Structure 1
Amino acid sequence: MRLGGVDLTGNLLLAPMADVTNLAFRLMCKKYGASLSFTEMISSDAIVHGNEKSFLRGMTCEEERPFGIQLFGHCPETITSAALIIEEMFEPEIIDINLGCPSPTITNAGCGSALLLSPDVVSSIFASLCENVDTPVTAKIRILESMDQTLDIANRVEEAGACAITVHGRTREQGYQGSADHSYAKRIKEELSIPVIANGDVKDGESAESILEYTGCDGLMIGRAAMGDPHVFYRISKYLEHGELIEVSCERRRDDLLEYIRLLEKFDLVSHVNMKAHSQWFTRGLKDSRSVRMGMGNADSHSSLIECIRNMCRDVQA
């Protein structure tokens, strides 16, 4: 799949996720086949005001490329100023604008999915970006209950000059509940000429194949299914290529978690993540893993958490 000026090796993308998609995690997903990864969303206001933590989220390395940085905001001028700073500092292959976050903290500030109710502002944001920034620009949206209003947003994004759009098939009100409605991505793909990427409920090879066939979309974006399981990219790609079903073992999860922690340490990110929560994600779906999660939760030091992880497969089964 070609996105902007980049020929991607595949069509499986890692979604930007707050407090999840740090550099170490993105590298793990890249290792297993994510063809493009995105940072967690970064406040355009924070970038313009020089917030150090926000710049840390944009940190990358050559092994990760290509990668994208996702910005959120509501003011076209501020978003453009932030994008120009990001472009100069990190040289991302893609700058993505968040039109989908349903968090009240974000929407109450007029950002994220709240922007879907202000189509003229959306047009202004993307027109300003595409006129002033050299980096290709994309959008990640949620759907509105009205198909016509959703199509209007998608068309405005394309007309302003964006090179692709990702469609999460849930409304702002749904949050992450219920099922994603991919009929919106299907219609948007039928109307737009730029690549359209479907997002929502991509859990495994079967769901990935079904969504691609139904929507006709160019690619898939994977979010929550990758939390604690970066290997999911490998399993989905193998299924799409050969119909091959691959089971994930406890040993694989353990080794991936230990490698993830080594990367966190390498890039000095340990203090910036909730280590217990991130470790517990890697036990999801494993049989008899409750005691392991409890052990991780009760660990009173980094070394004791590591010891718990090394021993996690003694009583756990895939």
Structure 2
Amino acid sequence: MKIADLDIPGNVLLAPMANVTNLPFRLMCRRYGASITYSEMISADAVIYENQKTLVRGKSCEDERPLGIQIFGNSPEVMTKAALRIEEMYRPEIIDINFGCPARLLTKDGCGSALLRTPELIYEIVSSLSEELSTPVTAKIRILEDMEKTLEIAHLIESAGAAALTVHGRTRQQQYAGKANHDHVRRIKQELGIPVIANGDIFDELSAERVLEYTECDGIMIGRAAMGNPFLFKRISHYLETGEILEYRECDQRIADLSEYFRLLEEFDLMHTVHIKAQAQWFTRGMRNGRHIRRSIAASESIEEILWNLDEMCKHAD
């Protein structure tokens, strides 16, 4: 897939997710086959005020490149100023604008998916960033119930200079409930000349193939299904390349991934930025004996104890 002049190796992308897509997690997803990863969304206002907790979200390393950094805000001037600073500090390959997050924390301030009510402001933001940055600018939106209004916004984003568009097939009101409507995504892909990436309800090999084939999009973006499950990119990439389901031992894989994640947090001095037990719960979500696993994690007093208890459960599950 190609976005502007950037050649991306593949078409399976990791979505930006708050409190999830830090550097260690992104790096693991890249190693398992994610074509490009995105930072946690970054507040334009926080960048301007040099909030250190926010700025660490752009921390990167060469091994994870190419990197996209996603920003949110509601002022073309502030967002442009913040994006210029991000461009200078982190040199990302892509700067993405969030027009899709339905979280109350953003929408109450007129950011994220709240901006879908003001297409003219979306145009101003994309246009301003596209004109001022040397980095390709992309955007991510959610659909509206009205397909024609969704198409209008997609066309505005393209005409404002965006190099690509990601479309989540749910409305703001749906949050993450119900099914994603990829009819809108398919229609947007048919009408736009820039790359379009489908997002929503992609959780395994077959759903990845189904969404790609139905929408005919240039790529797919995986979000919540990848939380604590970076190996999902290996599975999907393998299937799309070979048509075969990759065989693996889930319990062993999950523990190995959790151990590596903790190691990378230490390596990049980011252990203090995460809630260890919550992260462990994500990495073990969906495993057999889930209730016992959750209890074990909650009772553990160290990373070593978490991993030892999980390993013991794995052995008894054989």
Instruction: Report TM bin, short chain.
Output: over 0.9
CA contact (8 A) 2:167 2:196 kept: yes
Q: For the structure 1 residues 43 and 312, does the alpha-carbon distance in structure 2 shift closer, same or farther, using more than 3 Å as the test?
A: farther
Q: Report the equivalent of 1:76.
A: 76
Alpha-carbon distance, 1:40 to partner: 0.6
Query: Which letter maps to 1:118?
Result: T
Q: CA deviation at 1:312?
A: 4.1
Equivalent position of 1:134 in the other structure? 134
Cα RMSD after superposing both structures:
1.2
Tell me which amino acid in the other structure corresponds to 2:187: R
Find the counterpart in structure 2 of residue 223 from structure 1. Answer: 223
Match in the other structure for 1:261? 262
Give 1:310 deviation, angstroms: 3.9
SS at 1:313's partner residue? helix
When structure 1 is superposed on structure 2, of 59-68 and 273-282 the one drifting more is: 273-282
1:269 to partner: Cα distance: 1.1
Give the equivalent residue in structure 1 for 2:274: 273
Match of 2:124 in 1: 124
Output the CA distance in 2 between the equivalents of 1:45 and 1:310.
44
Q: Is the 8 A contact 2:255 2:307 kept in 1?
A: no
Q: Which residue identity is paired with 2:144?
A: L
Whether the aligned pair in 1 keeps the contact of 2:165 and 2:194 (CA below 8 Å) is: yes
Following superposition, the deviation at residue 46 of structure 1 comes to: 0.2
Partners of 1:138 and 1:163 within 8 A in 2: yes
Which residue is 1:57 aligned to? 57
Q: Residues 64-95 of structure 1: CA distance to partner in whole angstroms, max 9, x if unpaired?
A: 10000000000000000000000000000000
Other-structure match for 1:300? 301
Q: Quote how far apart the aligned CAs of 1:126 are.
A: 0.6
- Superposition map of 1:88-167 within 5 A: 88-167=88-167
Stretches of structure 2 lacking an aligned partner (at least 5 in a row): none
How far apart, CA to CA, are the structure 2 residues paired with 1:312 and 1:137? 46
Do the aligned partners of 1:286 and 1:316 also contact (CA within 8 Å) in 2? no
AA aligned to 2:29 is C
Hey, what's the Cα distance between the residues in 2 that align with 1:59 and 1:311?
A: 35
Report the equivalent of 1:30: 30
Q: Number of aligned pairs? A: 317
* Partner SS state of residue 198, structure 2: strand
Find the aligned partners of 2:313 and 2:43 in 1 and give their Cα distance: 37
User: Which secondary structure does the structure 2 equivalent of 1:167 belong to?
Assistant: strand
Deviations 1:141-186 (A, max 9, x none): 0011111111111111100100000000000110000010001110
What stretches of structure 1 move > 4 A for 4+ residues in a row? Answer: none
> What is residue 48 of structure 2 aligned with on the other side?
48
Q: Name the SS of the counterpart of 2:315 in structure 1.
A: coil
- Give the 3-state SS of the residue equivalent to 1:63 in structure 2: helix
What is the distance in 1 between the residues matched to 2:214 and 2:227?
25
Q: Give me the identity figure in percent.
A: 56
3-state SS, counterpart of residue 20 of structure 1: coil
Q: CA deviation at 1:238?
A: 1.3
Say if 1:289 and 1:316, in contact at 8 Å, map to a contact too: no
SS of corresponding position for 1:294: helix
Match of 1:185 in 2: 185
